[in-house]
Amino acid sequence: MFTGLVHSLAEVIGVVAEPPGVRLAIRAPSIAAKATIGDSIAINGCCLTVVGVDGDGLVFQAGEETLSRTNLGELTRGAAVNVEPSLRAEDALGGHYVTGHIDAVGTVLLRQDDAEWCTIWFGAPPAQLAQMASKGSVAVDGVSLTLVDVEGDRFSVALIPHTLSVTTLGRKKLGDRVNIETDVLAKYVQAQLQARQTV
């Protein structure tokens, strides 16, 4: 379980094919210093298991399913990723409950910059948009955000300067693909409503 509060930006230092998956290595000194093999860490919002710790680097394996349903398969050496260690029972919950299970990949449709602030519109599949509501929560590349507007085929978020500077969202441009996880509470509500309709 995560909060969607990105701990740090990390650099991809290795992507090695291990068919049908890949071995992914990142440089994340502050997290690597406390990490052990078997830990769960979110990379761009996707929960991965640490399979190796090497100095200030962490190593993960991403399988075919993960690569096909997230943007992790597009990562190359030198790319920046959002990193968050898993939530501990005593940690403060400053974002919202994020599982690290990506629901879909969305696309940057529009970026409206206003000085150091920014509003970004993302395209997303209908199934995920049905689980969104204005002022609700969504995780984009692992970043907990408040939804501004939700329309037929897109949604928007307003980003403060801090978020733009400490996450990969500040670097996003038109056409970039992002990992989307909708609010787990919205999923349960939707499932319950659908179950009642079939009774």
pLDDT at 197: 83
Residues 81 and 42 in one domain: yes
What range does the domain containing 147 cover? 104-197
Residues 134 and 61 in one domain: no
- The rounded distance, in Å, linking the Cα atoms of 59 and 24 is 6
Tens-digit pLDDT string for the chain (199 aa): 999 999 999 999 999 999 999 999 999 999 999 999 999 999 999 999 999 999 999 999 999 999 999 999 999 999 999 999 998 877 777 889 999 999 999 999 999 999 999 999 999 999 999 999 999 999 999 999 999 999 999 999 999 999 999 999 999 999 999 999 999 888 888 888 888 887 6
Is residue 134 within 8 Å of 126, Cβ to Cβ? no
In a domain, 35, yes or no: yes
Residues 109 and 81 in one domain: no
β strands within 39-116, DSSP E: 40-43, 46-54, 57-62, 80-85, 104-114
Tokens of 20: 């049908």
In a domain, 92, yes or no: no
Residues 117 and 69 in one domain: no
Residues 76 and 108 in one domain: no
Q: How many domains does the chain have?
A: 2
In a domain, 91, yes or no: no
